[in-house]
Amino acid sequence: MNILALDLGTNCGWALHTRGGAISGGTVRHILRRGEQPGQKWISFRTQLIEHKRAAGEIHVIYYEDVKRHVGVLAAHAYGGFLANLEMWCAVNNVRMVPVGVGVIKRHWTGKGNADKAAMVAEARARGFSPKDDNEADALAILALALDAEGLVRKEAA
């Protein structure tokens, strides 16, 4: 089963598990460059999803961080835009979506529902991964939860 895990946002963390058990991950920055139209970030996000699908052959399910509270208005607007685009892409591509609460992800990964960014990165490293930042670490945490939820054997970093 091919599973994509996403930490939605302008700095979008991702982790991909493919049928053979390979795990890859990273962070994609969806920022506007000088002279670009505001909608370009949504096109960039859609391109990211298309590239993940191409790399895996197909995506069966996407687990994503379900954020219910944002400190800033701009972050809330951005998250809503990424979520709306994800919902549309999944509908068009017949991909199941599974939202996972922030505290649930942190508790599953670190044992603490309020773990900070440093703890999330440290746990990823302890499991053998080399995340570039906290966004990728969060995506790896979401993927670990997804693998458990789907009843798949989790491999640590290769």
| Regions of the chain with pLDDT less than 50 | 158
* The residue type at 146: A
- Torsion angles phi and psi, residue 51, rounded to 5: -65, -40
What does the alpha-carbon distance between residue 85 and residue 127 come to, in Å, rounded to a whole number? 31
pLDDT number for residue 110: 97
What does the alpha-carbon distance between residue 49 and residue 71 come to, in Å, rounded to a whole number? 27
Gyration radius from the chain CA atoms: 15
The pTM of this model reads: 0.93
pLDDT per residue over 37-74, tens digit each?
A: 989 999 999 999 999 999 999 999 999 999 987 778 88
pLDDT number for residue 158: 47
60-77 residues labelled b (16+ CB within 10 A) or e (exposed): ebbbbbbbeeeeeeeeee
pLDDT number for residue 72: 80
pLDDT number for residue 68: 84
Q: Please tell me whether residue 140 adopts helix, strand or coil conformation.
A: helix
Domains of the chain: 3-149 (3.30.420.10)
